[in-house]
Amino acid sequence: SINNSDVDPLFMDATTDDFRISAISPAKDVGTSGGSIPTVDIDGNKRGNNTNHTGSGYDIGCYENVCNPGTYYVNDNSLVGDIWVIAVGNDGNTGGSSDPFLTLYETLKVCGCSGNSVKVDAGSYADDDISISASDFSIQGAGKDLVTFDGDSDGSSNERFMTINVDANNFKISDLTIQ
């Protein structure tokens, strides 16, 4: 059908029945509005009006992505050489300096919305094939000699680290190495 999609919606965690869409979901801001479409989601969040950081358009599905503004932190599960965090990373954490995420991918699922920033502490990371559309967004490493992203960590040589989509404006990546 003309309105169907077969791309991964990037739910927060479908394995635990968490079918909220992530901040980097292709279902974000592309739903239909008007007519008999509800103006709030199943949790009561207003849809697509830029309040509560929901974005400018309706999201597809019963949940509207709500992105909390702020700075989020990533740590590679080691405190060696770290300058921003005081705990090791875990993707079950909330992303604060005392409870950082383990991977950039999981961080962006939560905070990959316009106006946010991510600080990546010292370490080596194997994230790959990340896609982002946020504007006024930054990813800052602890230093180009301290933070390395290896987008081809499995040696397949056909992977990419990140795709920055055309609707991302004022997007900044600094102080890290991508190989």
Residue predicted with more confidence, 50 or 144: 144
pLDDT bin (cut points 50, 70, 90) of residue 24 is: confident
Residues 6+ apart with CB under 8 A from 72: 95, 96, 100, 101, 107, 110, 111, 116, 117, 118, 119
**pLDDT score of 62 more than 70:** yes
Place of tokens 């003309």: 2
The separation between the first and the last C-alpha atoms of the chain, rounded to the nearest angstrom, is 40
Q: Under a CB-based contact definition with an 8 Å cutoff, are residues 57 and 33 in contact?
A: yes
Is pLDDT above 80 for 36? Answer: yes
Its pTM stands at 0.81
Q: Which residue has the higher pLDDT, 129 or 170?
A: 170
Q: Can you point out the beta strands (E) in 22-113?
A: 71-74
